[in-house]
Amino acid sequence: MLQLMIVDDDALMCNQLAALLDWEQLGIEIAAYASDGQEAVQVLERHEIDLVLTDMDMPKMNGVELIEHINAHYPHIHVIALSAYDDYHYVRGSMKYGAHDYILKNRLSRENMENLIAEIVKKDRALGDLKDHVSLTYDQLLESFFSRLLQPGDFDRTQISNIINNLNIKFNRECLAVMLVDYYAEAEDEMLNRSLYHMCQQILGEADFVQPLKAETNGFCFILSFKKETSQAQVLKKLEIWGRTLINNGKKFFNVSLKVSISDLCGDIFNLGHYYGQAAEQSSIFFYEENQEFVIPWTYVRKKEQGCGVVSFPARKDCKKMIAEGRIEDLKQSWFHFFEQAGKKRGPIPELVKGLREELGWVFLIAEEQGVKKPYLLKGNGNLDEEMGKIRTLTQWEKLFQAIFERLREALCPDFGCGNYHKYTKYILKKIHTQYSEPLSLTDLSRELGVSSAYLSNTFKNDVGIGFNEYLNKLRIDKVIEAIKNGDGKLKDIVERAGFQNYNYFFKVFKEYTGVTPAQYFNI
């Protein structure tokens, strides 16, 4: 709300002005009263005032003098001049020094005042929006300038100096450092992101200049500057303390593992891009060494790469043959050796990740040919990009591949002894384990295979020991129990995802399978 001060040596008039309008409804709060100009000046020194209604003919300091004082010291304050006299001196003086309007008291009405107040509120909001826009634009210009500084060749030295002078950036361009702060969260959390950002700002606020920039991953990039009087040893010590403080506070207050990489000191802003590259290159250690959290150049020694750093992916032809023959353990072993070599050679991360994405896409295509769908391999989550976007380390990539291969093994050969099963039984088991969430029946399967449903039923029961429907229902119940234990959603949604089309039928099957109701089983 705008804060209003009413200035008049007539107490009755002050009360009349206060009662003239429903000020709060107009977005205005009466914050103070003053009986003359001098008292009003004292109020202005103690309170934040946005709007002044002032009489003109007052002792000690009249309205013109008060308006002049406000114009000189508080130019943002809106003033409406009031007077019982149509005096040219008062009119001219009030308008000269910035009064919004001049009103004769005998012509004052609720309607006139409401219209004036509406104009002032509109003007004040427009000025506020303009200030916000100017401020935002300046912040954007700063961010754009420093972001481009990190890209070699965007500016020459003269351009850099001109931009710094034009933007009036107060910092030491001869003592800079780049800090990269990364973290991993299971799901996107804007509140966590803001909280971590404010924590970083608070800790790094001790630097003489801090410019935050957008990072390529979850996390932040900060350009730090230090005064010329600060020795290099002091700067390095501060940077190390801040980095370790960020990591400790991340764990302590947010249960988040932060990864911090700091560049060496840059003595020439023209070379800032090189130091950003240094910090980024150092941070590759986090990809290859999951337990590493902090890296600084004055203690960091890069492990020597074995060979050229490039590792060949397992041959697709061999992998396809392994999948077709159900030799998933051999497939897992070949990829285990790949990740082992990749961890030793430590090649460029972008190329490696790009290759892993392509290989994983290929695995899904081959699995699809075998009747195993991608959502099954991803445990119901068909959004592959979302899964891969969560990965931060080589170990996590390996775990994803191995988990998918294990799901593939379960689908292609779900039960031990499967090798002795009839080919129709294997086909049915694959269907059940990969499509249990969909409607399945022996009738439909018999049409697909071109044999009678009775023959399929007998063959399946002879191999597995129980009938088709009993096996399918038990699998679905197992999936429901697993999902509830993992907290994967509400019971009704879980039941539907497991393939039960009828909620009452699920309760009946659950009790037959477990001997108790779902509520008793889970102590709900």
* pLDDT value at residue 136: 59
Whether 427 is in a domain gets the answer yes
Please provide the distance, in angstroms rounded to a whole number, between the alpha carbons at the two ends of the chain. 50
| Ramachandran quadrant class, 326 (left: phi over 0; alpha: psi -120 to 50; beta: rest) | left
* Domain end marker among 353, 387, 412: 412
- Residues 359 and 440 reside in one and the same domain: no
- Residues 101 and 199 reside in one and the same domain: no
Whether 429 is in a domain gets the answer yes
Whether 300 is in a domain gets the answer no
| Ramachandran quadrant class, 380 (left: phi over 0; alpha: psi -120 to 50; beta: rest) | left
Q: Which residues contact 308 (CB under 8 A, 6 or more apart)?
A: 345, 347
Token pair in block for residue 321: 């043959």
- Residues 264 and 281 reside in one and the same domain: yes
* pLDDT value at residue 88: 46
* Domain end marker among 266, 295, 324: 295
Which amino acid is residue 415, in one-letter code?
A: D
Listed residue (428, 369, 379) closest to 406, CA to CA: 379
Q: Which residues contact 262 (CB under 8 A, 6 or more apart)?
A: 177, 178, 179, 180, 239, 240, 243, 279, 295, 296, 297
The number of domains in the chain is 4
Token pair in block for residue 47: 């309170």
Distances (CA, A) of 144 to 151, 167, 177, 515: 11, 12, 18, 66
Cα–Cα distance measured from residue 336 to residue 330, given in angstroms and rounded to the nearest whole number: 10
Q: What's the CATH number where 461 sits?
A: 1.10.10.60
Q: What is the Rg, in whole angstroms, of the alpha carbon atoms belonging to the chain?
A: 37
* pLDDT value at residue 305: 44
Whether 304 is in a domain gets the answer no
- Residues 290 and 329 reside in one and the same domain: no
- Residues 375 and 450 reside in one and the same domain: no
- Residues 320 and 212 reside in one and the same domain: no
* Domain end marker among 412, 429, 451: 412
Cα–Cα distance measured from residue 366 to residue 268, given in angstroms and rounded to the nearest whole number: 53
- Residues 222 and 109 reside in one and the same domain: no
* pLDDT value at residue 141: 87
Whether 162 is in a domain gets the answer no
Whether 387 is in a domain gets the answer yes
Whether 57 is in a domain gets the answer yes
Token pair in block for residue 325: 């023959």
Write out the chain's pLDDT in tens, 524 residues.
789 999 998 888 888 888 888 888 888 899 999 999 999 999 998 888 989 988 888 888 888 888 888 888 888 888 888 877 655 455 555 555 556 666 777 777 888 888 888 888 777 776 665 555 555 578 888 888 999 888 877 788 888 888 898 888 989 999 999 999 998 766 667 888 888 999 999 999 889 999 999 876 678 999 999 998 889 999 999 999 999 999 999 999 988 899 999 999 999 999 999 999 999 888 888 899 888 899 998 775 555 444 456 789 999 999 998 888 778 889 999 999 999 999 988 888 889 999 999 999 899 899 888 777 777 787 655 566 766 777 888 999 999 999 899 888 877 765 544 557 888 888 888 788 878 888 899 999 999 999 999 999 999 898 888 899 999 999 899 888 888 887 777 888 888 888 888 888 999 999 888 888 888 887 75
DSSP H stretches of helix in 47-109? 63-73, 88-96
Q: What's the CATH number where 43 sits?
A: 3.40.50.2300
- Residues 347 and 462 reside in one and the same domain: no
Helix (H), strand (E) at residue 78: strand 78-83
- Residues 276 and 346 reside in one and the same domain: no
For 341, counting Cβ atoms within 10 Å of its Cβ (0-12 exposed, 13-18 middle, 19+ buried), the class is: middle
- Residues 406 and 339 reside in one and the same domain: yes
Q: Which residues contact 298 (CB under 8 A, 6 or more apart)?
A: 236, 264
DSSP H stretches of helix in 269-381? 272-282, 284-288, 316-324, 328-345, 349-369, 374-377
* pLDDT value at residue 355: 93
Cα–Cα distance measured from residue 453 to residue 440, given in angstroms and rounded to the nearest whole number: 13
Cα–Cα distance measured from residue 225 to residue 479, given in angstroms and rounded to the nearest whole number: 56
Task: Describe the crossing of helices 503-514 and 468-485 by its angle, rounded to 10 degrees.
Answer: 90
Q: What's the CATH number where 264 sits?
A: 3.30.70.270
Cα–Cα distance measured from residue 55 to residue 67, given in angstroms and rounded to the nearest whole number: 10
Predicted TM-score (pTM) of the model is 0.55
Q: DSSP for 167-223?
A: HT--S-TTSEEEEEEEE--SS--HHHHHHHHHHHHHHHTTSSEEEEEE-SSSEEEEE
Q: Are 247 and 260 in contact (CB under 8 A)?
A: yes
Whether 256 is in a domain gets the answer yes
- Residues 389 and 467 reside in one and the same domain: no
- Residues 177 and 216 reside in one and the same domain: yes
DSSP state of 440: -
Q: Which residues contact 27 (CB under 8 A, 6 or more apart)?
A: 1, 2, 121
Residue 335's domain spans which residues? 316-412
Token pair in block for residue 163: 């931009």
